[in-house]
Amino acid sequence: MAVIDQIFDLFNHHGGSLYFGEQVTETEHALQAAYLAKQAGASNELIAGALLHDIGHLLHGLGEDVAQHGIDGKHEDVGSAWLQRWFPVAVLDCVRLHVDAKRYLTATEPGYLADLSEASRQSLALQGGPFTPEEVLAFEAREPNYLAALQVRRWDDEAKVVGLQVPPVEHYRPVLESVLLA
Ligand SMILES: [Fe+2]
């Protein structure tokens, strides 16, 4: 199966459970994040990054591939590792860095932490908490695509609206096709 169909299959058949501690499903969350990116006039790489940022959650338990990568279950790493065969770094970094982006924003932006959902604040602690000032500087220096990851993070945080009507996964086929590696 071509990768875009595999991705749609994941959303359509494995994305129906609630997004950790929130009142929307994984698929609803992904579709809202992608929609926010599109509404903001973002590049196709960022729209794809928003759609796919939590794909690692859907891959958990699906077996072989994920285990072969020898990854410890961090969903951002599971997702970006799985996607890297098909997508460019500009997309992968949105996925790989979206947890670090939360740690960055909680450290640098007054009020960001208070606006996070309860579940997102709880997971922050498990993910290492806010960056230290040294970690902020290191992140900026190490990650050339960090600003894109921060942007995706903001759509991620907003993409938890119960009952919001947004386009279905198939709507994003042209976006994904446009960013696929040759
Ligand atoms: Fe998310």
Q: What is the distance in A from the centroid of ligand 1 to the CA of 70?
A: 23
pLDDT along the chain (182 residues), means of 10: 94 87 91 98 98 92 45 79 97 97 97 92 89 98 98 97 96 98 90
Residue 52 is predicted with a pLDDT of 98
Contacts of 117 (CB under 8 A, 6+ apart): 21, 22, 157, 160
SS3 164: coil
Compute the distance from residue 57 Cα to the ligand 1 centre, in Å: 9
Q: What is the structure's pLDDT at 18?
A: 82
150 alpha carbon – ligand 1 mean position (Å): 12
Q: What is the pLDDT at residue 70?
A: 43
Calculate how far, in angstroms, residue 44's C-alpha sits from the geometric centre of ligand 1: 18
Q: What is the pLDDT of residue 71?
A: 43
- The alpha carbon of 122 and the centre of ligand 1 are apart by a number of angstroms equal to 14
Residue 103 CA, distance from chain mean position: 14
Q: For residue 45, what are the contacts with CB-CB under 8 A and spacing of at least 6?
A: 88, 90, 91, 94, 148, 179
Rounded Cα distance, 139 and 39, in Å: 28
Cα 8 to Cα 1, 14, 27: the distances in Å are 11, 10, 10
At residue 61, the pLDDT reads: 58
The Å distance, Cα 29 to ligand 1 centre, comes to: 7
Quote the pTM value: 0.92
Burial-class residue 133 by CB neighbours within 10 Å (0-12, 13-18, 19+).
exposed
